[in-house]
A = this chain, B = another copy of it.
Amino acid sequence: MSDLNTFRTETRSWLEANCPESMRVPIRSFEDIYNGGRNPEMSHPDQKIWCDRMAERGWTVPEWPKAYGGGGLSKAEAKVLREEMARIGARSPLDSFGISMLGPALLKFGNEDQKLEHLPPIVRGEIRWCQGYSEPNAGSDLASLATRAEDKGDHYIVNGQKIWTSYADKADWIFCLVRTDNTGSKHEGISFVLFDMATPGVTTRPIKLISGSSPFCETFFDDVPVLKKNLVGEEGKGWTIAKYLLTHEREMISSFGAASGKKTLGQRAADNMGTDASGRLRAGTLRSVIAQYQLDTLAFAATMEKVTAEAKAGQGLGPASSIFKYYGTELNKRRNELLLSVEGESALGWDGEEYNEGEIARAWLRSKGNSIEGGTSEVQLNIVAKRVLGLPDA
């Protein structure tokens, strides 16, 4: 305990000395989040300075082993670091798919060379990664992917197309699912490979959504050479890694459901549309739909609280966790629908200052994708029906 106290004291003074004042200001826009990479985008030059200082101690990824550039902190120490950063309002120095996605996968499935080659640049924010999973003709049936990797001895030649690759136009490297074998079941013959996006034959094109511009891209591979040392895990066994990362991703997306903002939708409606003498929202039929939404939001929050408490109590992740992605994203869609009803036509503007550049309408349209990306609601229901309820395949 006294060790932890020492650690806290040292951390506090180091942070005081090294965290620039500008990095203690709350994040206001996407540009304030530092993603690193070869050509990092910044709203303030201190972002790189702050990242570099933290990276030097491995504190951009405090719990990764020191051998791979991480901080090597224990869970308890990492918690202290988080607390001390929160104390002064320090921003996260680096956010990246390398940290949240590829790193955990490499630590679990990568060989020693791969860890030593790829993890330190992630820690230092030097290489930005993107994820090459979905394909236009696969969709929910991810495993039926068709991007081919042909064996050429010491390397593969990759041909095919990916879609929904977030920030592919800004990433330096990609972790990518490719098909190395066509003969077995569709889940076999998938391999997990890494390659540089600057390799000749790689092109990307941003995707515009119904809500406007987006981080998503289409990515095309035309005879792209990939060295075999960049195959993670065994050839043909990439699906195991993919599943591991998908679960990871779903947990991230399911947090959509947690209502943001301080005011409830009901209170917002009351402010906007007025209440009668009894305190009831004037728009009576809308009121009951809002109440139903608030009710479900409350119950969903209780469910997340309960599952978290059970996990902490060592009871493991109960079956309720399987509904998070489904329920959370459907709730978020309902919230956005109701916001339009509450705000009225002024929320349906698309451009112009009066309409805040269509902020509400764009968020509404963007929310429609929540129940598609990271496993559609239908796929989630299939999973619950089969794995939790034990209902048989058709």
Interface size counted on chain A using CB atoms at 8 A: 8
Q: Is A260 in the interface zone, CB < 8 Å from B?
A: no
Residues of A within 8 A of B (CB): 280, 284-285, 287-289, 291, 394
- State the Cβ distance, A117 to closest chain B Cβ, in Å: 47
A288: B residues at CB distance < 8 A? 284-285, 288-289
Dominant SS at the A interface?
A: helix
Distance between Cα atoms of A289 and B291 in the complex (Å) = 13
Distance between Cα atoms of A284 and B275 in the complex (Å) = 13
Across the interface, name the chain B residue whose C-beta is closest to A288.
B285
A280: B residues at CB distance < 8 A? 284
- State the Cβ distance, A32 to closest chain B Cβ, in Å: 42
Which listed residue, B285, B287, B291, touches A291 by the CB 8 Å rule?
Answer: B285
10 contacts between A and B (CB under 8 A): A280-B284, A284-B284, A284-B287, A284-B288, A285-B287, A285-B288, A285-B291, A288-B288, A288-B289, A394-B394
- State the Cβ distance, A179 to closest chain B Cβ, in Å: 27
Q: Which 7 A-B pairs give the minimum distances between C-beta atoms? A: A285-B288, A288-B288, A284-B284, A394-B394, A280-B284, A284-B287, A284-B288
Beyond A284-B284, A288-B288, A394-B394, list 7 extra A-B contacts (CB 8 Å).
A280-B284, A284-B287, A284-B288, A285-B287, A285-B288, A285-B291, A288-B289
Distance between Cα atoms of A284 and B283 in the complex (Å) = 10
